[in-house]
Copies of this chain bind each other. A is one copy, B any other.
Amino acid sequence: MLDVALLGTGGMMPLPNRFLTSLLCRYKGRLILIDCGEGTQVTMKMLGWGFKDVALICITHFHADHISGLPGMLLTIGNSGRTEELVIAGPKGLKKVFNGLMIIAPELPFDVKLVEIENDFEDFFEFDGLSLSAVKADHLITCFAYALNVRRKGKFDAERAKKLNIPKEFWSVLQKGNDVVLGNDLYKPEMVLGEERKGIKVCYCTDSRPFNNLVPFIENADLFVCEGMYGEDEKIDKAIEHKHILFSESAKAAALGNVRELWLTHFSPALTEPESFLDFVKNIFPNTVIGYDRMNKSILFEN
């Protein structure tokens, strides 16, 4: 199971009723945050999932509305009692930006490991069945889209375990993916597990024009969280100039990528009623949801 919460839905600047866009994911007790603008810690406090378990913060790009909340967030995570290492991942230049920002928060009670992402589609963070990868988007400065993948092992095959004479008390060890040694015999999980089953995939993309790798990157995702900067197709020139995306373009990508559900976010401050474009965009991709602050759901494995 993977829990996801859209902490904010605004672009450019935080507004009284709309925090800046960021996504919080919870998997096996650990939290992963994507983007951390000014005020993200406040909406995260409202959500109530705590701060201590933040293990990874991914930054799409180094514009203020996606990273300016980082010093305060790290101080608050520190105040929550975290002492284990925390990983921050982002584009090349992360170390320089981090050092610049952290002049105002020089002391943290935990180590920070900085990961400058190099290769598209390559996993850069993994734990316990979850992995993260990124792909370069198309914005004014280097910007990454992110994917979280939860792998799901194959079903345990009791018949095969019986045939191999593995005592029942070791079945759960193999089921969890660990080897078992009995006398001179080594038993490996793949000997008793069926084929890997469909896992969970969540993708996040903002701020960007549509780009070649987007559709393959989000393919078959359970949830695609995507920028919706402008509702009107007439704003295409503005979208191209500032390298943002239209609602209709996000919906087209969702349809081509065969995703299960699309959440739109990162609304322009001028777009006070994004809901008014819902019918229009549902014509392109029916399972579109207009995001709102702290909208969240639990994504379960399929049966």
| Residues of chain A at the chain B interface (Cβ within 8 Å) | 12-16, 37-39, 41-42, 45-46, 62-65, 67-69, 71-72, 75-76, 79, 96-97, 99-101, 103-105
Contacts and interface: CB of A to CB of B under 8 A. Distances in A.
18 contacts: A13-B75, A14-B41, A15-B45, A38-B38, A38-B39, A38-B41, A38-B68, A38-B72, A39-B42, A64-B75, A64-B105, A67-B104, A68-B68, A68-B72, A96-B103, A97-B103, A100-B101, A100-B104
A46 B17 CA distance: 10
Given A13-B41, A101-B103, A68 B65 contact: no
Contacts of A79: 12-13
Nearest 8 CB-CB pairs, A to B?
A100-B100, A100-B103, A64-B71, A64-B105, A38-B72, A64-B104, A39-B39, A16-B46
Given A13-B75, A101-B104, 12 more contacts: A13-B41, A14-B41, A14-B72, A16-B45, A37-B72, A38-B68, A65-B75, A67-B104, A68-B69, A68-B104, A97-B103, A100-B104
Contacts of A72: 13-14, 37-38, 64-65, 68
Contacts of A65: 72, 75
A72 B20 CA distance: 11
Contacts of A15: 42, 45
A104 B13 contact: no
Contacts of A62: 103-104
Contacts of A46: 16
Interface centre among A14, A37, A65 (most CB of B within 10 A): A14
Contacts of A16: 42, 45-46
B14 A104 contact: no
A146 to B, nearest CB: 19
Nearest to A100: B100
Contacts of A37: 72
Interface centre among A13, A45, A97 (most CB of B within 10 A): A13
Nearest to A46: B16
Nearest to A14: B42
A100 B105 CA distance: 12
Contact of A13 (B38, B76, B101, B103): B76
